[in-house]
Amino acid sequence: MTVKQKIYLGMLALTVMGLTSCLKDVKNNLDPGLGTNNVVEFLNTSVPVSYTSVYPQWANSILFNNDTGGFNINVDWAGAQAVTTQDITVTLSLDTAALNAFNANQATNFVVPPTDVYTFPSTITIKAGTEKAISRAVITAAADFDFTQSYAIPLTISAASSGSISTNYGTAIFSFAGRNAYDGLYSLDELLVGWGAYGIADGISYSWPSNIQFLTSGQFTNTIQTTEEGYYMPAFTTGGGTTGFGATQVQFTFDGTSNAVTAVTNLQPDDGRGRAFAINPAVTNSRYDPTSGTIYCAYIMSQNGRPPQYVYDTLVFQGAR
């Protein structure tokens, strides 16, 4: 062996020894005895509403069943350690300051619902050997539930028994809107009788080319909404052009037990014509049929100086909106 070869082998041995020494100094993130850089965070329950908001927001649609509904709250153990080696208790708290910051950041007007409307778990446990846990917030259609409000529950992870709390996903906004069993997109066929005062032939019928929205306005009330011709109530075509109910927004009220339509009202302010709606007393089976997803409703529109106009609606469910 030459001198140069001896020098090379000596340098190689020193290099290997140095590398071995360095590797021994590095902590293995999978070794629980040496700590972890994992974080505890909220995990997506759906696609976030925005990727630029100050806090993540998940929007939930609450379909009430026997006056209650809810949505999932997911927490995650994220980082180099794939699963937990022990039970991790995650503590949740309401954070109204976060909601105020979110509203200012996103130009929204979410409010925390009344206390009898919602409950959420104070703690969630990520079990040993797992990476996440799922719990649930319960929403109740209490008497003071306001279906017209923009509700949100702002939650923050205030403590965790192991790991750090995520700075990006340690606080989240869970917004929700209540929808009753009648809510959705419907096709609408309408038969009009006694509309001669509008120049409409008696007994004309019309089917809308696009689905109308049947919006939840209360636990057992819904309004018909369409953007067609700018009317709240759908417009229809006559020999003289397009007409409609004008300044009206029809609201149906259901009996939550029998699904009968018990009332039809106009939510729009009176424009001086005294326009009003009422169930047609001659038709006794205005109702929602849950089997076929069809609403049948016969009602009367009256206004000053004109004879009654009779409306017969058939709405067929097409899908969730």
The 10s digit of each residue's pLDDT in 37-93 is 899 999 999 888 988 899 999 999 887 766 788 999 999 999 999 999 999 999 999
Domain spans of the chain, in order of start: 32-179, 184-319
Q: What is the mean pLDDT of residues 141-162?
A: 93
pLDDT at 315: 95
pLDDT at 200 exceeding the cut of 70: no
SS3 229: helix
pLDDT at 12: 42
pLDDT at 20 exceeding the cut of 60: no
Query: Is residue 309 very low, low, confident or very high in pLDDT (cuts 50, 70, 90)?
Result: confident
pLDDT at 238 exceeding the cut of 60: no
pLDDT at 85: 94
Question: Could you confirm whether domain 32-179 is CATH 2.60.40.1740?
Answer: yes
* The CATH number, out of the four listed (3.10.20, 2.40.128, 3.30.70, 1.10.287), of the domain defined by the range 184-319: 2.40.128
107-130 per-residue burial string, b: 16 or more CB within 10 A, e: under 16: ebebeebeeebbebbeebbbeeee
Cα(64)–Cα(271) distance, integer angstroms: 35
Chain mean position to CA 167: 25
Do 230 and 238 contact (CB within 8 A), yes or no?
no
Cα(91)–Cα(108) distance, integer angstroms: 27
Task: Give percent of the chain above pLDDT 90.
Answer: 52
Cα(40)–Cα(154) distance, integer angstroms: 17
pLDDT at 210: 75
pLDDT at 202 exceeding the cut of 80: no
SS3 66: coil
Cα(264)–Cα(51) distance, integer angstroms: 42
To the question of pTM greater than 0.75 for the whole model, the response is: no
Query: Is residue 100 very low, low, confident or very high in pLDDT (cuts 50, 70, 90)?
Result: very high
pLDDT at 285 exceeding the cut of 80: yes
